[in-house]
Amino acid sequence: MNNIFVYCETEKGKIADVSLELLTKGRELAKRLNCKLEAIVIGHRLSGIEKELYGYGADIVHLADDARLEPYSTLPHTSIVTGLFREEKPQIALFGASSLGRDLAPRVSSALKSGLTADCTSLEIGDHRDTKGNEYKDLLLQIRPAFGGNIIATIINPDHRPQMATVREGVMRKEKLAEAKTGEVNVLDVNKYVRDEDFVISIIDRHLEERKIDIKSAPIIVSGGYGVGSRENFDLLFELASVLGGEVGASRAAVDAGYADHARQVGQTGVTVRPKLYIACGISGQVQHTAGMQESAMIISINNDSNAPINQIADYSIVGDLSTVIPKMIKYYRANSK
């Protein structure tokens, strides 16, 4: 009772990275709160999947295994999660801020009348005293940028349980336990939770695309913002990225302007990256963006504006035009690398 639950997404027996990241975070929170970490997996042909979840710290794994439960569909998954939460009364429930998690979590929160905070960038445990003087111990502090990334808000759910939050893929670290541990499985009786009406939406066809652009695992990212000016000007960034063996990223403003594809978007509404080198070209540095790249090992900014906020987190800021600077970088690298 009153443990931490993580909803784990699977696709053909493979657990989503975001779920493993949430388990890693969940076990840190569970340790702090001195409670257990529980995983819930809903799908088909799940036997054996618990072993990997134990490896990330799950103490109890709830399995709902039924041919009708894969691929994911909103209503049956909602019924199982809400039913289980009503019985188990978790204090915290975490979901990936993925297409799936952002479809499921609000539905669950509405059914349970508990609050949900979307796209958290940090989760902490802390106390709260409200204006009436009521004290709350050990609440989940859900921290997220708001208002297009111009403010950072700390959200709490003082009176409702579970305290629910979603987190985007890549925001939390994914780390296996150093030493293997085991746990227990709880096989759920699916028919106890789902209703026939839960299957009114039928999936006729499904095409999964392998992620073609993978900026998350690139060691070097050359990223462009609105200041790049056009889709054509991005070619220069592609050239530098290819010479250095990296990938091209973009800010939301650049993606919204049509200069780059959404798959390349770095930041709060894109992906979070931690490359060893991040070169920010024509990016002003709104939190919307920096939330997704500030943990890069080294940051170089190239910007005409010497007062651009990005310069405050950059290790090096080159004040100048990217059409001048980038060709010089390419030229020097070609001449001097092995």
The secondary structure of 65-124 as a DSSP string is E-GGG-S--HHHHHHHHHHHHHHH--SEEEEESSHHHHHHHHHHHHHHT--EEEEESEEE
**The residue to which tokens 């780390």 are assigned:** 175
The DSSP symbol for 9 reads: P
Choices 25-33, 41-49, 185-193, 293-301 (CB under 8 A): range interacting with other proteins: 293-301
The binder of other proteins chosen from 178, 180, 206, 232 (CB under 8 A): 206
Can you read off the two tokens belonging to residue 129?
């005293």
> Does 290 sit near other proteins (CB under 8 A)?
yes
Distances (CA, A) of 318 to 278, 282, 284, 290: 13, 11, 13, 18
> Does 134 sit near other proteins (CB under 8 A)?
no
The DSSP symbol for 271 reads: B
> Does 133 sit near other proteins (CB under 8 A)?
no
d(CA 315, CA 308): 14
Q: From the CB of 39, what's the least distance to other proteins, in Å?
A: 21
Q: From the CB of 276, what's the least distance to other proteins, in Å?
A: 6
| Residues numbered 151-180 forming contacts with other proteins, rule: CB under 8 A | 151-160
Q: Is the dihedral of CA 132, 133, 139, 141 positive or negative?
A: positive
Residue with Cβ nearer other proteins (48 or 245): 245
> Does 117 sit near other proteins (CB under 8 A)?
yes
| Residues numbered 244-263 forming contacts with other proteins, rule: CB under 8 A | 244-245, 252-253, 256
d(CA 288, CA 152): 10
| Residues numbered 82-111 forming contacts with other proteins, rule: CB under 8 A | 98-99, 102-103, 105-107, 109-111
> Does 10 sit near other proteins (CB under 8 A)?
no
The binder of other proteins chosen from 1, 34, 135, 338 (CB under 8 A): 338
Q: Is the dihedral of CA 285, 290, 291, 294 positive or negative?
A: negative
> Does 204 sit near other proteins (CB under 8 A)?
yes
On whether the CB atoms of residues 143 and 122 are closer than 8 A, the answer is yes
Residue with Cβ nearer other proteins (34 or 337): 337
On whether the CB atoms of residues 94 and 4 are closer than 8 A, the answer is yes
> Does 242 sit near other proteins (CB under 8 A)?
no
The binder of other proteins chosen from 14, 31, 192, 211 (CB under 8 A): 211
> Does 207 sit near other proteins (CB under 8 A)?
yes
On whether the CB atoms of residues 248 and 221 are closer than 8 A, the answer is yes
The binder of other proteins chosen from 19, 24, 272, 286 (CB under 8 A): 286
Residue 156: closest CA among 128, 188, 195: 128
Choices 27-35, 83-91, 174-182, 308-316 (CB under 8 A): range interacting with other proteins: 308-316
| Residues numbered 50-89 forming contacts with other proteins, rule: CB under 8 A | 71, 74-75, 78
CA angle, residues 302, 307, 312, in degrees to nearest 5: 75
The binder of other proteins chosen from 38, 269, 273, 289 (CB under 8 A): 269
